[in-house]
Structure 1
Amino acid sequence: MARRTKAEAAATREALLDAAEEVFLEKGVARTSLEQIARHAGMTRGAVYWHFKNKADLFRALLERVRMPFEELVEEIDDPGLADAPLEAVRLACRLGFIRLEQPRYRRVHAILIHHCEVFGDIDPLAMQNEMAEESCGALQEYFTNAARLGQLRPDIPPEVAAQLLQSCLGGLFHDWLRNYEQFSILERGMELVNTLLRLVSAP
């Protein structure tokens, strides 16, 4: 019985997050109340407070469902040979990230963060975006540093510059795609850009 109750609680939490995703996308985060989310999920406001302290807590939980730490993407590829091929690890991790982003949930939640969220109470979308960007750039720099150590990076390009180049490329692509995701495939366009940039920074 306890196991079933735990499973039901988890299902309720997921249903509330699904409802929040839909309402935030339609109304924006600041203009959405917990009462509206509860109604959209067919539940009471008490159910929301049982799982989340406030709207900021719910919003962070929504983001957690779509976070893609770079190191975890590399681990998912599960190829021991990538330890000696850091630039290939970067390429494959970017590809996996693009595939994930084309899933509706990932696209919608990132669109909420970028285009439908204002500074409101404990919610600071710019701080959240900066945290994610810094985490990504830091991980990229480690891979480019390994590439330089292995003689795979152009000697005239410092690892931190290579990481910033790729991070800026990915950030621009991401924002362009979210504005009109039906205009192009982020997987196809993204891999064209990533492959080109990695060729440019690779040692001859």
Structure 2
Amino acid sequence: MARKTKAEAAATREALLDAAEEMFIQHGVARTSLEQIARHAGMTRGAVYWHFKNKADLFHAMLQRVRLPFQDLVEALDDPELAKKPLEAIRLACISGFEHLERPRYRRVHAILIHHCEVFSDIDPLAMQNEMVEESCGALRDYFHCAARLGHLRDDIPPELAAQLLQSLLGGLFHDWLRNYERFSIYEEGTRLVKAQLSLMRASPSE
């Protein structure tokens, strides 16, 4: 019985987060109240406060469902040989990230963060975006440093510059796609661009 109660509580929490996504994308974060979210989910405001302290807590939980830490993407590939092929690890992790982003929930939540959220109470969308970029860029730097130590990276491209170049490509691609996601597939375009970028950075066999 206890297990059922826990499962029901988890289902209620997920339903509230689903409702929040739908309301935020329609009305924006600042103009959506917790009561509106509760009503949209067919619940009371008390149900919201049972699971979340406030709207900022709910918002962070919504983001957490679609977070894509770069290191997690690499580890999910479950290939120990990638430790010897850091540039290939970067390529495959990026492709995995693109696959996730094309799922409706991932696209919708990132659209909320980028286009439907103002600074409001304890919610600072710019700070959240900066944190995500720094997390990604830091992981990329680690992998490019590994590539440099193995002699896989061109001598004239320091690991820090390589990480900055790829992060700029990813950020530009992501924002272009999010503005009009029906115009192109981020998976197809991203796969092509990342492959080309890494090829330009890769050391030639004679180096």
TM-score, normalised with respect to structure 2:
0.98
> Could you say which residue in structure 2 is the equivalent of 1:43?
43
Which residue number corresponds to residue 193 of structure 1?
A: 193
Matched, 1:158 2:155: no
Q: What's the CA shift string for 1:102-143, capped at 9, x where partnerless?
A: 000000000000000000000000000000000000000000
Superposed displacement of residue 57, structure 1: 0.2
What's the CA shift string for 1:59-106, capped at 9, x where partnerless? 000000000100000011111110000000000000000000000000
Partner residue in 2 for 1:105: 105
Letter in 1 for 2:46: G
> How far, CA to CA, are the matches of 1:145 and 1:163 in structure 2?
9
Structure 2 CA distance, aligned partners of 1:174 and 1:40? Answer: 30
Counterpart CA distance in 1 for 2:29 and 2:178 is 17
Q: Write the distance in 2 (CA, Å) between the matches of 1:31 and 1:189.
A: 35
Pairwise mapping of residues 73-92 of structure 1 onto structure 2 (< 5 A)? 73-92=73-92
* SS of structure 1 residue aligned to 2:151: coil
What is the SS of the residue equivalent to 2:164? helix
Aligned residue in 2 for 1:124: 124
Measured after TM superposition, the shift of residue 192 of structure 1 is: 1.1
Q: Match for residue 55 of structure 1?
A: 55
Q: Secondary structure at the match of 2:156?
A: coil
The one-letter code of the counterpart of 1:128 is M
For structure 2, the 5+ residue unaligned runs are: none
Q: Which amino acid letter does the alignment assign opposite residue 192 of structure 1?
A: R
Task: Quote the residue 1:178 is aligned against.
Answer: 178
Q: SS at 1:19's partner residue?
A: helix
**Distance in structure 2 (CA, Å) of the matches to 1:122 and 1:72:** 27
* Aligned residues between the structures: 204
TM-score normalized by structure 1? 1.00
Aligned-partner SS, 1:35: helix
Paired AA for residue 157 in structure 2: I
Question: Identity across aligned pairs (percent)?
Answer: 78
Q: How far apart, in 2, do the equivalents of 1:74 and 1:168 lie?
A: 20
Secondary structure at the residue paired with 1:91? helix
CA RMSD of aligned residues (A): 0.4
Q: Which stretches in structure 1 are left out of the alignment for 5+ residues?
A: none
State the alpha-carbon separation in 2 of the partners of residues 32 and 178 from structure 1: 22
CA–CA separation in structure 2 for the residues paired with 1:51 and 1:106 = 22
Moved over 3 A (4+): none
CA distance in 1, matches of 2:5, 2:188: 43
Instruction: Tell me the alpha carbon deviations over residues 164-185 of structure 1, each in whole angstroms, 9 at most, x when there is no partner.
Output: 0000100000000000000000
1:23 aligns with 23
Partner secondary structure for residue 66 of structure 1: coil
Secondary structure of the structure 2 residue equivalent to 1:182: coil
